Chain A
Amino acid sequence: MLAWLLTPTVSLWCSRHYQGLRRQGGSRLGSAGLTLVWLLAWALFPLERHGWQWVLGHAEGLYPHLARPRVGDPLRILLQSLWIIVRRPKPIPLRWPASWQRAWQWGTQALGRFLIRQEERGLAAARATPREARWKSVLLCAVAGTLSLLCITQPFTLQAQLVFVIMLMGMAFILRAVPGRYPMLMMMVLSLTVSCRYIWWRYTSTLDWFDPVSLTCGLLLLAAETYAWIVLLLGYWQTAWPLNRPPAPLPADSAQWPSVDLMIPTYNEDLAIVKGTVYAALALDWPADKLTVWLLDDGDRASFRAFAEEAGIRYVARPTHEHAKAGNINHALKQASGDLVAIFDCDHLPTRSFLQMTVGWFYRDPRLGVVQTPHHFFSADPFEHNLQRFRKMPNEGALFYGLVQDGNDMWDASFFCGSCAVIKRSALDEIGGIAVETVTEDAHTSLRLHRLGYTSAYIRIPLAAGLATESLSAHIGQRIRWARGMVQILRLDNPLFGKGLNLGQRLCYFNAMLHFLSGIPRLIFLTAPLAFLILHAYIIYAPAAAIALYMLPHIFHSALTNSRLQGKVRHSFWGEVYETVLAWYIARPTTVALFAPHKGKFNVTAKGGMTEEVYLDLSVSRPYLILILLNLCGLGFGIWRICTGPADEVLTLILSMLWTLYNMTILGGALAVAFESRQVRTNPRVEMVMPAAIKLANGHLYPCTLKDYSNGGVGVLLEDALPLADKERVWLLLRHGQREQAFAAKVQRVFGRKLGLELEPMAQAQHIAFIQCTFARADTWSLWQQRLGKDRPLHSLLDITLLGWGAYWRLARTSPIGFVCILFEKLARWLLSFVPRRVSPDFRSGAPTTQTVKG
Chain B
Amino acid sequence: MNCVALQGIRGGVGTSSLVAGLALAAREQGARVLAVDLCQDNLLGIHLGLPHADARGWSRLADPAQEWRSALHHYEEGLDLLPHGAQSGASAGAWLQALEGYDLVLLDLPMGPVPEIPCQLLTVVNADANCHVRLHRHVWAVGERLLVTQFTSRRALQQDLLDLWQAAGLPLLGLRLHRDEAMAEAMAAKQPVGRYAPTSLIAHELASLASWCLGAGGDGPC
Say if A and B assemble together: yes
Q: Which residue of the partner chain B has the closest CB to A691?
A: B204
Q: Which residue of the partner chain B has the closest CB to A700?
A: B181
Proximity bits, B190-205, A CB within 8 Å = 1, else 0: 0000000101111010
A699 touches B180 (CB 8 A): yes
B180 touches A701 (CB 8 A): yes
Give Cα distance in the complex from A693 to B180, angstroms. Answer: 11
A693 touches B166 (CB 8 A): no
Min CB distance, A30 to chain B, in Å? 50
Give Cα distance in the complex from A742 to B159, angstroms. Answer: 12
B182 touches A700 (CB 8 A): yes
Question: A719 near B: Cβ within 8 Å?
Answer: yes
Min CB distance, B180 to chain A, in Å? 5
Question: B88 near A: Cβ within 8 Å?
Answer: no
26 contacts between A and B (CB under 8 A): A693-B201, A699-B179, A699-B180, A699-B181, A700-B180, A700-B197, A700-B200, A701-B178, A701-B180, A701-B182, A701-B200, A701-B202, A702-B200, A702-B201, A703-B201, A703-B204, A719-B199, A720-B199, A733-B178, A738-B162, A738-B163, A739-B153, A739-B163, A740-B151, A740-B159, A742-B153
Question: B154 near A: Cβ within 8 Å?
Answer: yes
Give Cα distance in the complex from A698 to B199, angstroms. Answer: 15
Query: Which residues in window 15-36 of B have CB below 8 A to A?
Result: none
B166 touches A701 (CB 8 A): no
Question: A781 near B: Cβ within 8 Å?
Answer: no
Question: A259 near B: Cβ within 8 Å?
Answer: no
Question: A637 near B: Cβ within 8 Å?
Answer: no
Give Cα distance in the complex from A741 to B162, angstroms. Answer: 13
A731 touches B201 (CB 8 A): no
Min CB distance, A767 to chain B, in Å? 16
Min CB distance, A196 to chain B, in Å? 56
Min CB distance, A753 to chain B, in Å? 11
Report which of A699, A720, A733 forms a contact with B153, defined as CB distance below 8 A. Answer: A733
Give Cα distance in the complex from A733 to B163, angstroms. Answer: 18
Query: Which residues in window 727-765 of A have CB below 8 A to B?
Result: 731, 733, 738-742
**New A-B pairs, 8, CB < 8 Å, besides A693-B178, A733-B153:** A699-B179, A700-B181, A701-B180, A701-B181, A701-B201, A702-B199, A733-B178, A738-B162
Report which of B166, B178, B181, B182 forms a contact with A738, defined as CB distance below 8 A. Answer: B166
Give Cα distance in the complex from A698 to B181, angstroms. Answer: 8
**Chain B residues close to A by CB (< 8 Å):** 151, 153-154, 159, 162-163, 166, 176, 178-182, 197, 199-202, 204
Query: Which residues in window 691-731 of A have CB below 8 A to B?
Result: 693, 698-703, 719-720, 731
Count of A interface residues, CB-CB < 8 Å: 16
Min CB distance, B147 to chain A, in Å? 15
Q: Which residue of the partner chain A has the closest CB to B184?
A: A699
Give the residues in chain B near A702, CB-CB below 8 Å.
Answer: 199-201
Min CB distance, A1 to chain B, in Å? 64
Pick the 4 closest A-B CB pairs, nearest first. A699-B181, A701-B201, A740-B153, A720-B199
Min CB distance, B32 to chain A, in Å? 27
Q: Which residue of the partner chain A has the closest CB to B182?
A: A700
Query: Which residues in window 663-708 of A have CB below 8 A to B?
Result: 693, 698-703
Q: Which residue of the partner chain B has the closest CB to A733?
A: B153
Give Cα distance in the complex from A407 to B166, angstroms. Answer: 43
Give the residues in chain B near A698, CB-CB below 8 Å.
Answer: 181
Min CB distance, B166 to chain A, in Å? 6
Give the residues in chain A near B180, CB-CB below 8 Å.
Answer: 699-701
Q: Which residue of the partner chain B has the closest CB to A701?
A: B201
Give Cα distance in the complex from A647 to B108, angstroms. Answer: 99
Min CB distance, B142 to chain A, in Å? 25
Q: Which residue of the partner chain B has the closest CB to A702?
A: B201
Give Cα distance in the complex from A699 to B179, angstroms. Answer: 8
Give the residues in chain B near A693, CB-CB below 8 Å.
Answer: 178, 201
Min CB distance, B153 to chain A, in Å? 4
Give Cα distance in the complex from A702 to B153, angstroms. Answer: 14
Give the residues in chain B near A719, CB-CB below 8 Å.
Answer: 199
Give the residues in chain B near A738, CB-CB below 8 Å.
Answer: 162-163, 166
Q: Which residue of the partner chain B has the closest CB to A719?
A: B199
Give the residues in chain A near B178, CB-CB below 8 Å.
Answer: 693, 701, 733
A741 touches B153 (CB 8 A): yes
Min CB distance, B62 to chain A, in Å? 46
B153, B162, B200: most-surrounded residue (chain A CB, <10 A): B153
Q: Which residue of the partner chain A has the closest CB to B180?
A: A701
Give the residues in chain A near B201, CB-CB below 8 Å.
Answer: 693, 701-703
Give the residues in chain A near B200, CB-CB below 8 Å.
Answer: 700-702
Give Cα distance in the complex from A496 to B201, angstroms. Answer: 63
Min CB distance, A722 to chain B, in Å? 8
Give the residues in chain A near B179, CB-CB below 8 Å.
Answer: 699
Give the residues in chain B near A701, CB-CB below 8 Å.
Answer: 178, 180-182, 200-202
Give the residues in chain B near A720, CB-CB below 8 Å.
Answer: 199
Q: Which residue of the partner chain B has the closest CB to A720?
A: B199
Q: Which residue of the partner chain A has the closest CB to B203?
A: A703
B159, B197, B199: most-surrounded residue (chain A CB, <10 A): B199
Give the residues in chain A near B162, CB-CB below 8 Å.
Answer: 738
Min CB distance, B191 to chain A, in Å? 16
Give the residues in chain B near A739, CB-CB below 8 Å.
Answer: 153, 159, 163
Give Cα distance in the complex from A738 to B158, angstroms. Answer: 12
Min CB distance, A756 to chain B, in Å? 20
Min CB distance, A365 to chain B, in Å? 34
Min CB distance, B206 to chain A, in Å? 12
Give Cα distance in the complex from A698 to B153, angstroms. Answer: 16
Q: Which residue of the partner chain A has the closest CB to B198?
A: A720
Give the residues in chain B near A700, CB-CB below 8 Å.
Answer: 180-182, 197, 200
Give Cα distance in the complex from A727 to B74, angstroms. Answer: 46
Give Cα distance in the complex from A720 to B199, angstroms. Answer: 7
Give the residues in chain B near A703, CB-CB below 8 Å.
Answer: 201, 204
Min CB distance, B207 to chain A, in Å? 10
Give Cα distance in the complex from A701 to B201, angstroms. Answer: 5
Min CB distance, A699 to chain B, in Å? 3
Give the residues in chain A near B181, CB-CB below 8 Å.
Answer: 698-701
Q: Which residue of the partner chain A has the closest CB to B202?
A: A701
Min CB distance, A769 to chain B, in Å? 10
Give the residues in chain A near B197, CB-CB below 8 Å.
Answer: 700
Give Cα distance in the complex from A731 to B180, angstroms. Answer: 13
Give Cα distance in the complex from A693 to B178, angstroms. Answer: 10
Q: Which residue of the partner chain B has the closest CB to A696?
A: B181
Give the residues in chain B near A699, CB-CB below 8 Å.
Answer: 179-181
Min CB distance, B177 to chain A, in Å? 10
Give Cα distance in the complex from A731 to B153, angstroms. Answer: 10
Give Cα distance in the complex from A703 to B178, angstroms. Answer: 11
Min CB distance, A725 to chain B, in Å? 18
Min CB distance, B202 to chain A, in Å? 7
Are A731 and B154 also in contact (CB < 8 A) when A701-B178, A701-B202, A703-B201 are? Answer: yes
Min CB distance, A108 to chain B, in Å? 39
Give Cα distance in the complex from A693 to B199, angstroms. Answer: 12
Give the residues in chain A near B199, CB-CB below 8 Å.
Answer: 702, 719-720
Min CB distance, B214 to chain A, in Å? 20
Q: Which residue of the partner chain B has the closest CB to A731?
A: B154
Min CB distance, A728 to chain B, in Å? 16
Give the residues in chain A near B176, CB-CB below 8 Å.
Answer: 740
